[in-house]
Structure 1
Amino acid sequence: MPENQSNTKKAFLRATQTTPIIDHHAHPLLKHSAINTCPLMSTIIGVHSDTMYGSRTGLAHIRAITHLSALLGCETTWDAVEAAIVRRQGEEYNKWIQRCLSGIDSVLVDDCLGDAEKFEPYNHLDIFTRSPSKRIICIEEVAAKCIDLACVAYSEPTEAFSRAIKNFIGAIEKRLDDPAVAGFKSIICLRTELAISPAINVELLQQVFQRILNDKNLGNLDAPTGFGHAPLNDYFLHILASLIQNDEGGHKKPIQFDTGVGGHDRALTASSPAHLQEFIRTYPDVPIVILHAGYPFTRETGYLAAMYGNVYADMGGVFPLLSRNGQEEVVRHILELTPVSKILWSTDGHYLPETYLLAIDQCTI
């Protein structure tokens, strides 16, 4: 290798290993009392329980075990790694978390993972980072709470629907003004699909809300609060995007979209970020962040980020979910069209600190 290329490579590696990291999308850690409620293998490798043990022969799993065993000073087997991590969980756990989050300056935390009693608050991560964490607000969670409050207060569908929308608008406006909130996230990909309808059919929305209200009135507390109803999900997204687009603040807060990999129960063909194209065009002043690089639709992600000024590609979840070759392919596909200024990085860390560790280390080695 010519000397100038060698020096360039060294300078690049030094920059990647020393530049403070802003983790653009992650989740809270489990409380110490709850760390045994989630299988370590499922959390680290990112697979569903039905396929968890079959993943031991996957290249991503093998690489993770090799990396963790070297770091923990144990044999290169899953059982040895798991035992070593369990010991770290019992001995100076905060010190181990600090090592796992080493290099991160600040984390943007999506703290809507479910049972709040099991998780640390989003700002718990401030103990381990140099700058305060910020929140990412899951809008489907906000919408669900607004609908529930309206259904309790009103029995007539039109009044309940109107109140739910007013509740939602007020909740979003409050968060637009909150300096602790860095942006919003939609999990519509997990609930219906990414093909957000550009048209709003008020009559259809009223019918959907009538069914929700009926379920609530019948005491069906497990009935989905809008999550399974595409028209209502789409409508809330349009409200959010309109509020952001019309916001007169100095910096418009982004909407992150869960796309591609990340859910075994989603329709894969419906999770391509290409479905967002019409929505992106409709709101050109709203920053749109495509999470997980849209994998396996990475070229579609790169195209959208390159063609539209308001779109950004985020690499979270690619590390450590894929093999090294797969990770490199994703980066190559994104870079085919996308300027580096439109590429974001995140750990998608969740539950346990090792998810942060692998995401950080695998992108620099």
Structure 2
Amino acid sequence: MDLTSLRQLIQTHPLIDNHAHNLLEQNAAASEDDYPLKSIVSEAHGRALDNALTTLPLIRATNQLSELYGTLCSNWTDVEKAHAHWVQSDYQGLVRRSLEGTHTLLLDDLLTDDDVEPYSWHDQFTGAATKRIVRIEAVAASLLVELMDYERKPDETVWGLFRARFLAALDSAMDDPAVVGFKSVVCYRTGLDVDPYSADEEALTASLHRTLDSGTKRSGYRVEDKALNDWLVQQTLKAITFKKRAGIVKPLQFHTGLGDNDINLVRANPAYLQPLIDQYQDADIILLHSAYPYTREAGYLASVYPNVYLDLGEVFPMVSRDGQEKLLRESLEIAPLDRLLWSTDGHFHPETFWLANCQFRQALEKVLVEYVQCGDMNVEQAKTAAIGILFENSNKIYNLNASVNETKFGFYDPPSVMRITQTQKATTDPLDALLQKYPDLKYIWMQWIDYTATTRVRIFPIAEFKRIAPKAKTDRYLLGGMLDVAGRHRSARGFNDRATIMTFWRSERNEVMDGCPRTTLENIVQKLRAEHRVEVLCGFEIEVVFLRPQTDETGMTTNYAPATRNHSWSQMTSDTRIMVPILEEINEMLASMGINLQQFHAESAPGQFEFILPPATPLAAVDALYAARQVVTNIAEKHSLRATFHPRPIASGAGSAAHTHISINKPEREDAFLAGILNHYPAIAAFTLSQDASYERVRSGIWAGSEWVAWGFQNREAPVRKIGAGYWEFKSVDGVANTYLAVAALLAGGYIGLNTGAKLTVEECTVDASSLSASERAELGIRTPLPKTLTESLEALEEDVVLWDLMGPKLVRNYIAVKRAESECLRAVPEAKRRLWLLERY
């Protein structure tokens, strides 16, 4: 199950924002008195708006806006300062960052404020021209002002003039190509209990005069008398119905649910609209703002009326994360997927757009991924749903005729993803496709990696696996193809007539178990994505030593010797050339499994070679690492060799590692990410250097990272080698670690650094830090030695409560207990026997 592509699509697919408002002019955006920034997370006004400072939406926004601004915001005062700086120094840059990924904006551009930019001004920041949504109450109010300047003829009435002009304005908007829809705020004015039938002329005339009496030409007129407000809605729906018959489709949006204290919350329930919806079933109606807190009522209407759509906007970012996810799930309970639309309700400040889009993508990803994991959807169905909500549903209902390929973003082509025929569905069942491709497949090896980095396995004959697979739910990769079966595993690789599947730890009821290494890694990756929009790629270097067994007279293996002796780094000697056919066989087997090596070469120690794996997302990268190691080991056995990943199998030679490459997509935040890792490095080492034997590499002068917590650009004698912007190699990882936990711990350190805005106080080191004096190290901020024993790193982990909490208290507690017990058992064994045992085990 390719959840990675689903997540990527949700996070990057261009958006059609089906309901938003104009942004402020630069000078107005800097006015905190007139346009307080707190309003981006609350509909409250006046003193009530101050209460927003203690709400989860504002606290969450404070943390997330650090990314938008590129500076740490610890509190709301920091946010206001950063906002003011951007507005003054690069307002258009702030807008551009905030609207990144937006294909089209549909703007309700008739707000009463004079300080906003015109709708066409926004075009420079989006993939296509901005379109207008006409607010009918605003049109009515402007017509009333005009009427006060008009000298009526004796036979003309105010009502007659107003009626004619409003209908003419509707007709003009219907024919305007820049207008794609209409909006009513009757919810604010008199409530959603709109009468489907018009009052008589006398009642409407009286209603109009009451409206005129409530204002003046100078102050303007607020249209809030029920008879008149209902009439405006009725006439708009009649015009929409009439024009639709002529092929002109322009829906009417209704504000529903969430609003300020000017709204009657009870009458904001869209259920009140049912008689009106029923009366005008040929007019398309959009219920805005998720109808919060009446989302289920809105979803119900969308499920039983063919002309009703539900917009999912405004609650992002004005509701907490839990509320947003709950609301999204409620909207999906019965509402058709092609009736759900996305909008930001962005207005005035650019941050409203950025926060809404960021948080909605996070919620949509979490909900759809969970549905796929539970088996409610497959990946392609989830992709179709996401593309529909983000883009295609609005594209269709507003008749935009937009194509992603025509945008300046060009991420995906929705039709190619969405056009899935029944024939394609029938022939792409993952298990069937696997068996068609590999008809000789006989066994499935279900594998997991425990805390001792031992690969545990249960072997299923293919007939039994086929029997149990449909009963479970999962996502996975199998031999480069998709296996949409079996709920406890993900990634699978093949070898001859076998396929190996790496599993999650699940209970008998298929519930997530605390302490699962793969789940731990995935959770941290998700936290980086959801909270910091940081995407991670990982890659590994497999360093392996090929050994020849030495036996006694009984045939018992007593020791191992290097398979080659005339051996040199990146050189092919007469000795190492003998290994070339084996190396090529390994490469070809991996390529057949979809693991395409970037290169392979001789390493420094006798019998030592290195295979460089391609980068991938963290979980997929570690899965590929274990699959590749199994191929290396199996092919070595085929040639009567032992392939070992022991940290230092030859005491006098160079060590072997699993150098881990990590890159992030936010290089501007690399200092905080790296600082977090360095600050927690001694505790992280408990996962990356997880055996007593691992510390045979914590020495200077052997290209293993030396003995101090330090980093340097292309410095091979530092535990962290910087390769490029936001890209590092971590040398303190070896082949006896549980690599899922090792990578999880490194990323956890980076996450902590981002969360705390950690400062990188360790300066670049260009030499082996062990060769420096204490004062020279201090000048570079190098003060922390690497642990020299497993005991030291486990003690550091025990004391690191922040890392402990992030990795999971139960996991860390159990891990420490297991590693201490394992160490005690191994230390009780004589050194020679212990080394032999480790060589045969790892």
Q: TM-score range by the shorter chain?
A: over 0.9
**1:200-219 equivalence runs, <5 A:** 200-202=198-200, 203-212=202-211
Letter in 2 for 1:134: K
Structure 1 residue 32 and structure 2 residue 26: aligned? yes
Residue-pair matches, total: 355
- Give the conservation status (yes or no) of the 8 Å contact 1:347–1:360: yes
Query: 1:96-145 CA deviation, whole Å, 9 max, x = no partner?
Result: 210111000010000111123x1100111101001000000000111122
Separation (CA, whole Å) in 2 of partners of 1:142 and 1:101: 28
In 2, Cα distance between equivalents of 1:215 and 1:100: 40
Give the match's secondary structure for 2:310. Answer: strand
SS of equivalent residue, structure 2 residue 93:
helix
Aligned-partner residue type, residue 127 of structure 1: Q
Q: CA deviation at 1:84?
A: 1.2
Work out the CA distance in 2 between the residues paired with 1:351 and 1:213: 29
Residue equivalent to 1:122: 119
For the residue of structure 1 that corresponds to 2:187, the secondary structure is: helix
Q: Which residue of 2 aligns with 1:160?
A: 158
Deviation track 1:154-206 (CA, whole Å, cap 9, x = no partner) reads 38796211111110111110110110001000011111111111232212112
SS in 2 for 1:182: strand
**1:337-348 matches, cutoff 5 A:** 337-348=334-345
* Contact 1:319–1:347, Cα closer than 8 Å, also in 2: yes
What residue ranges of structure 1 are gaps of 5+ in the alignment?
none
Q: Does 1:253 align with 2:238?
A: no
Higher helix share: 1
TM-score, length of structure 2 as denominator length: 0.41
CA contact (8 A) 2:290 2:298 kept: yes
8 A contact 2:133–2:180 mirrored in 1: yes
Is the contact between residue 28 and residue 351 of structure 1 (CA under 8 Å) also seen in structure 2? yes
Distance change (3 Å), C-alpha of 1:99 and 1:221: closer
Residue correspondence of structure 1 range 95-134 to structure 2 within 5 A = 95-116=93-114, 118-134=115-131
Give the match for residue 500 of structure 2: none
Residue type of the alignment partner of 2:196: P
Change (3 A) 1:215 1:294: closer
Distance between the aligned counterparts of 2:9 and 2:46, measured in 1? 38
Aligned to 2:179: 181
Q: Decide whether the 8 Å contact of 1:317 with 1:347 is kept in 2.
A: yes
Q: Give the 5 Å matches for 1:143-154.
A: 143-151=140-148, 152-154=150-152
Contact between 1:212 and 1:223, CA under 8 Å: does it hold in 2?
no
Which residue in 2 is equivalent to 1:283?
280
In the alignment, which residue of structure 2 is the partner of 1:191?
A: 189
Q: What are the Cα deviations for residues 193-246 of structure 1, in whole angstroms up to 9, with x where unaligned? A: 111112322121122234445667xx6754745x12100111111111111101
Call closer, same or farther: CA 1:70–1:209 in 2, change over 3 Å: closer
Kindly indicate whether structure 1 or structure 2 has the higher relative contact order, using CA contacts under 8 Å at least 6 residues apart: 1
Write the deviation string for residues 50-109 of structure 1: whole angstroms up to 9, x where unpaired. Answer: 222222221111111111124432132111121111111111221121011100001000
Q: Could you say what secondary structure the match of 2:85 adopts?
A: helix
Contact 1:42 1:49 in 2 (8 A): no
**Which stretch of the first structure deviates more once superposed, 262-271 or 326-335?**
262-271
Q: Greater Rg, structure 1 or structure 2?
A: 2
* Alignment check: 8 A CA contact 1:155 1:213 kept: no
Instruction: Name the counterpart of 1:59.
Output: 56
Contact 1:153/1:160, CA 8 A, preserved across alignment:
no
Are residues 196 and 124 of structure 1, via their aligned partners in 2, closer, same or farther at CA, if it must alter by over 3 Å?
A: same
Q: Give, in whole Å, the separation in 1 of the partners of 2:15 and 2:209.
A: 47
Residue correspondence of structure 1 range 321-340 to structure 2 within 5 A = 321-340=318-337
Which of the numbers 235, 242, 245 marks the counterpart of 1:239?
Answer: 235
| TM-score, length of structure 1 as denominator length | 0.92
Whichever residue aligns with residue 32 of structure 1, its letter is Q
Distance 2:56 2:210 in 1: 46
The one of 6, 31, 40 aligned to 1:12: 6
Q: Which consecutive unaligned segments of at least 5 residues does structure 2 have?
A: 363-842
- CA distance in 2 between counterparts of 1:304 and 1:95 reads 41
Aligned partners of 2:301 and 2:143: how far apart in 1? 32
Higher mean C-alpha deviation, range 27-36 or range 201-210: 201-210
Alignment partner for residue 262 of structure 1, among 259, 263, 274? 259
Question: Helix, strand or coil: the match of 1:108?
Answer: strand
CA distance, structure 1, for counterparts of residue 147 and residue 43 of structure 2: 36
Contact 2:210-2:225 at 8 Å conserved across structures: no
Across the aligned residues of Structure 1 and Structure 2, the Cα RMSD in angstroms comes to: 1.9
Query: 1:199 is paired with a residue of what secondary structure?
Result: coil
- Decide whether aligned partners of structure 1 residues 157 and 319 sit closer, same or farther in structure 2, where only a CA change above 3 A counts: farther
| Identity across the alignment (%) | 38
